[in-house]
Amino acid sequence: MSTSSRPRRALVAAVVAAGAAAAVLSPAAEAAAVPGPAGYTWTTDAVAPGVTVRTGLLTPQHNSPFWTVTITAPAKNVLTGAATTAELGDAQWAGDTAARLTAAGYPARQDTVRWPGFADTPHGVEGVRVRTGSYATQTDATATAAKLKAAGFSAVAEWTGYDADQAPDAERVHVAVIDRNRFHGTVEATHDGTVAQRETTSSIAAKAGAFIAVNGGFFVTADADGFQGVPAGLAAYDGKVESLSSGARAALVLGRHGDAAIENLTSAVTLRSGAAAHAVNGVNRKPGVVRDCGRPGLTPTTQPRQDFTCTTADELVLFTTEFGAALPAGAGTQVTLDRTGRVLSVGARGGAVPAGGSAVQGIGASAGWLTAHAVAGRRLTVDERVRTAAGKPVELRAGDGIVSAAPVLLRDGRQAIDAATEGVLDPKDLSFGYAWAEQRQPRTMAGLDAQGRLLLVTVDGRQPGVSEGVTLEEGAQLMRSLGAVDALNLDGGGSTAMAVNGALVNHPSDATGERPIGDAVLVR
């Protein structure tokens, strides 16, 4: 693996106070409790030579968060035009809504919310939030919200401890520190052999005998968006590209020799038949359906868009041996290839990838190109290229891997959250991304410190009074306090999981327990 590598809110003051010096463990301290960010109590376990896991607890700070009812503002999805709602509205809407609430017998509060310190969003006031009531339980708040809905308001029960403008009440953090100078195993990206599947992080870890495992990148979660478990972005395992990028989004690149880098990456694949060539628009996904968008020719946007599905009527999609599911059927053309790239068949879509081989499906005009240039017995070649945002090639060899998500959090020791560019927030659409990016959520993050050590971090969330999570900005500050100079956000929410020696150590937020995920990062 060859690529470049670089040696506001209430949580920030608490986290930065400890500084980076408290973050990195000396070998002598591996099995001892160590200090950490202000307000946290830390314990440390030595898992293997060069591998430690730190557990940090921020005990309740008596900030008195409570359940309340938020009145959401009318909004419109900028991509689809569909009517929706937003957490924040403008001052005129807020004033009018507060007056209506008060007249209805519900005393109103108006909170001015400012833009977070992202690198590519506006500064100043983002909007105004309107709320009413203080409740001891979610049930009570939900009951009031139902009454307000009946009275014509758009209302939702919320926990104020998730607000970035209030200090965190309680947090639970796990930090795996991997020192490649002392650890002689491997750090790898994996989908456990089958791309089109979902499996829990702890199950993948147990089968692989991994010391440490965390969930990896974004992935498809619904059949309507393709195949569940397929990465929604760039992914490579054992040196092979198994999914293409959705724009120049953040990625963790893992080398077989223990080197790692965090970059914004793009990818391109080309199918060649003699002198003729055609772009391959996707790998191991349903033709015409692109989760998280971010590729040319898509509708309604070619830009990255988190948790949004774009479509196209014209493209080629490559399926590898690792796809592991029945090939999608439908209009278009399919070509199957043996392990050398020689055409085995040309015909209708469906069936299975040949053992050790691959398949290419075309829809729209691309199906015509495939029919014209793929002849039984002819050899087709596939050219794969991965590059940094600056255009530098990333060479993948056996054992190398990539997991990708969004956004970048730190670059060269400085906060560098490119939330709008990577499609997790839209300054022109307050109905999109606010809760995902600006409120406290469970997070999984990865970082590299100045000595090249890899930090894999999980923060539990959505657990009032136990662990509320972090915003993207708070996550960046937490990673910096732990010594990271470069860091990115991996998949989070109910996907956030860390396993140590095959056993889950954090507390996932899904009501059903640990969520089956797409790919994972293993230390073994």
pLDDT at 15: 36
- Residue 419 Cα to chain centre, angstroms: 12
The confidence band for 465, taking pLDDT boundaries of 50, 70 and 90, is confident
Residue 62's pLDDT band (boundaries 50, 70, 90)? confident
pLDDT tier at 274, thresholds 50, 70, 90: very high
Question: What one-letter code names the amino acid at 428?
Answer: K
Alpha-carbon gap, residue 57 to 426, rounded angstroms: 33
Confidence band, pLDDT 50/70/90 cuts, at residue 1:
low
Q: What percent of the chain has pLDDT over 90?
A: 89
Give tens-digit pLDDT for 336-371: 999 999 999 999 999 999 999 999 999 999 999 999
Write the pLDDT tens digit of every residue in 471-516. 999 999 999 999 999 999 999 999 999 999 999 999 999 999 999 9
Spell out the long-range contacts of 292-300 with Cβ–Cβ below 8 A and sequence spacing 24 or more: 292/218, 292/232, 292/233, 292/246, 292/423, 293/246, 293/247, 293/423, 294/233, 294/245, 294/246, 294/247, 294/249, 294/423, 295/244, 295/245, 295/246, 295/247, 300/79, 300/80
Q: Is the confidence at residue 269, as pLDDT, over 50?
A: yes
Domain boundaries along the sequence of the chain: 67-162, 217-388
Instruction: Indicate if the pLDDT at residue 42 is higher than 80.
Output: yes
pLDDT at position 18 over 50: no
Q: Average of pLDDT values for 415-438?
A: 97
Question: How large is the average pLDDT for residues 272-283?
Answer: 97
Spatial separation of the C-alpha atoms in residues 392 and 254, rounded to whole Å: 16
- pLDDT for residue 317 is more than 80: yes
CB 393 within 8 A of CB 386: yes
The mean pLDDT of 145-165, rounded to a whole number, is 97
What's the pLDDT band for 226 if we cut at 50, 70, 90?
very high
- Render pLDDT for 157-193 as a digit per residue (tens, 0 to 9): 999 999 999 888 899 999 999 999 999 999 999 999 9
Q: Is residue 24 pLDDT above 90, yes or no?
A: no
Residue showing tokens 């949004």: 308
Q: What is the pLDDT of residue 37?
A: 72
* Average pLDDT of span 61-65: 82
pLDDT band of residue 12 (cuts 50, 70, 90) is very low
The tens digit of pLDDT for each residue in 244-254 reads: 999 999 999 99
Q: What is the mean pLDDT of the chain?
A: 92
Q: Which two tokens stand for residue 138?
A: 């979610």
Above 50 in pLDDT, residue 447? yes
Considering only CA atoms, which of 428, 433, 438, 435 is closest in space to residue 473? Answer: 438
